[in-house]
Amino acid sequence: MTGYQSGLLVILCFNVIAAYAVYLPMAAGQLNLGVAGFMATGAYAAAYLTNEAGWSIGAAVPAGGACAGLLALLVAVPILRTQGIYLALATFALGQVIAAIFLNLDVVGGAAGYPVSAYAGPGAVFAATAAILAAMLLLSRTRFALYLTAIKSDPVVTDLMGVNVRAVQVGALTLGAVIGGLGGGLYGHHFSFVEAQHFNVALSIFTVLYVLLGGVQTVWGPLVGGAFFTLLPEVLRAGGGWRYVLFALLIIGVMALRPQGLVTAGAHWRPRRRAASRAPSRTSGHPGPETRLSTEVSGS
């Protein structure tokens, strides 16, 4: 593998990790435009622990993810009192505030940035991405995933079924922040430098686009969307300056033809007898298995 190919795969991994950080809240119907702030929290926390406390990368990066998750847990209750566009604006403002704090925090370099003493190679990035993907696949088969889907469909009915809607929403935002913090910590240690300017609103918006383009109905959506946005511009590089125009046209075409995303749950591929065997669960007090975050992929 050449250096170019390795570098491209590393960027793909970071984009996919960021996409999964946004995917969990979106699976519950929450638009999080502050994911860059949680990634910055994880990046700076992990870098500080490595530089000042002498922690290993294996300890500092998960600790950075935990710091991002703790921050999300603290702000989740007031933020989740809002809905729709107001929730998006609240998370957007949170991300901007976090970036501004680190930009003016001299202990981590302020606007000049913060060098990181330890280095995480491509292998560590690949392994972490694979672990996060595996965790998401396992999570998609749990009752928590059923609740996310049910809340997105109808939070009022889900609440009447006995599900603690607010707790599930807080959990989704917190878990997403943990994933974002892990990605931020890995980013800082791979590039050996952290700067607040990188974690801007553009990063949050692009990350949301990864998920929307890939699809929110299935756990594979963020992976496909991240790959589309990362690899396709390189494929179109031969087009010179026109590649950006071609890329934009392709995005418009995909969104027009596949507004639900490139990957869908593919429920129509399941045999009818499987659907019939699951019918009794629809009368139970909890969402049935048919509502889970599907790991099946459909191209139609």
Alpha-carbon dihedral sign for residues 20, 25, 27, 30: negative
pLDDT value, residue 247: 85
Query: End-to-end CA distance of the chain, in Å?
Result: 34
Kindly report the backbone phi and psi dihedral angles of residue 17, in degrees, each rounded to the nearest multiple of 5, phi listed first: -60, -45
- The string of pLDDT tens digits covering residues 139-151 is 999 999 999 989 9
Q: Which residues lie closer than 8 Å to 57 by C-beta, 6 or more apart?
A: 46, 50, 118, 120, 124, 189
Distance CA 195, CA 113 (A): 4
**Beta strand extents in 24-179 (DSSP E only):** 114-115
Helix or strand (DSSP H, E) at 194: strand 193-194
Distance CA 151, CA 157 (A): 8
- The string of pLDDT tens digits covering residues 76-104 is 888 888 888 888 899 999 999 999 999 99
Helix pair 57-79, 165-191: axis angle to 10 deg = 140
What residues of the chain score a pLDDT lower than 70?
265-300
Residue 193, strand partner residues:
115
User: Look-up: residue for tokens 């599907």?
Assistant: 294
- The string of pLDDT tens digits covering residues 115-145 is 999 999 999 999 999 999 999 999 999 999 9
pLDDT value, residue 293: 55
Maximum Cα–Cα distance for the chain, whole Å?
A: 63
Q: Which residues lie closer than 8 Å to 105 by C-beta, 6 or more apart?
A: 44
Predicted TM-score (pTM) of this structure: 0.84
Contact 108, 114 (CB under 8 A): yes
